[in-house]
Amino acid sequence: MKRPRLACRIALVASLSLSALSMAAEPQVVPVARLASAPAVDGRLTEWSAGGWVEIPIAPTVKREDRASLGLGNEDHNAVGEIRVKLQMGVHEGRIYVAVRWPDDAPDTDLDVWQWNGRRYSRLRRYDDMFAMRFALAGDYDRSMLSGKNYETDLWEWSASRSQLAGFAEDFRQVISTRIIENAAEYSVNGVGTVYIKKYRDEGNYPFKTVRPPKEQGAERLIAVELNGAPDGSYADVAAQGTWADGHWQLELSRKLVTGNSDDVAIPAGGTITGQIAVFNHAADENKSVSEPLRFDLSGVPLK
């Protein structure tokens, strides 16, 4: 299997900090409230308690001072940096609701386009803003994907372009393993060996399609992606909608606590579950900021 050069470089960052993993503090506790009514998933946050916010610090996955030595260049493409994300969570009638607010200088919402280069159209990737949330699904969960531990997560990814069109966050099963996974990203980590990471999209209709460009020149730029029906099945589990105003994104997500799908984690009423959050600002890949592990506490939520 071919190993991505960038992946190998990023892996070195993890090898420098693996010794500190065992010294990580206990997960920050995020209480999950019992809600009297279901908030509308519209990104406005008007139905959430003014005093119920939990502040969660997040920081870049790749430090600025490490970039040049890892061959990533001196320019830091992580525009998030170290910030605090405000989060609230609650449950009503078997559904979990998540409200999030974080600073962002501009709403980056553009989809990919076809750009005319003088001879033909080539695809131009347009990086948007994103929010990700993952929950321990199976195995030995770890704050790092490169620690050498084998585990799986239920991964929700909201994007300011595609998710906003479809009204759903993308839903994945993410597998992290030291055992070979075909067509996975591969990371060579000192003291660990090769780590394989792959995202499996949940079952259901993928609601986007690529719009092929004409062979002859038309407009300078053409839309490359469009909505193709509605998402369904397990893929459509996580309803999501965001709004941007006054230098902040506001986002709401919702899913059944227990979907009955094998690719989804069962979120335990009356118990706790471990996870993390991440924020992207007009970026992707390693250019994100992430939290330390979080313990979502549903002990105040009745079993029925």
- For residue 24, the model assigns a pLDDT of 60
Inter-residue contact 264 to 154 (CB < 8 Å): yes
As a whole number, mean pLDDT of residues 149-153 equals 98
Distances (CA, A) of 136 to 97, 106, 287: 18, 32, 23
Inter-residue contact 64 to 76 (CB < 8 Å): yes
- Three-state secondary structure call for residue 7: helix
Lowest model confidence (mean pLDDT) among 1-15, 74-88, 243-257: 1-15
CA nearest to 38, candidates 232, 253, 242: 253
As a whole number, mean pLDDT of residues 158-180 equals 96
- Of 71-80, 162-171, 188-197, which one has max mean pLDDT? 162-171
pLDDT digits (tens, 9 = 90+) for 44-96: 999 999 999 999 999 988 776 665 554 555 566 778 889 999 999 999 999 99
Neighbouring CB atoms inside 10 A of 168's CB total 26
Inter-residue contact 297 to 54 (CB < 8 Å): no
Inter-residue contact 274 to 27 (CB < 8 Å): yes
DSSP result, 68-93 = GGGTS-S-------SEEEEEEEEEET
Report strand pairing: 28-34 vs 294-297: parallel
In whole angstroms, what is the distance from residue 224 CA to residue 111 CA? 7
- For residue 303, the model assigns a pLDDT of 79
In whole angstroms, what is the distance from residue 286 CA to residue 111 CA? 20
Lowest model confidence (mean pLDDT) among 19-33, 98-112, 201-215, 279-293: 19-33
For residue 66, give both structure tokens: 């490490």
Q: In order of start, what are the domains of the chain with their CATH numbers?
A: 5-22+29-297 (2.60.40.1190)
CA nearest to 88, candidates 98, 96, 79: 98
- For residue 74, the model assigns a pLDDT of 57
Residues 6+ apart with CB under 8 A from 133: 98, 155, 156, 253, 275, 276, 277, 278
* Exposed e or buried b per residue across 44-79, where buried means at least 16 C-beta atoms within 10 angstroms of its C-beta: bbebbeeeebeebebebbbeeebbeebebeeeebbb
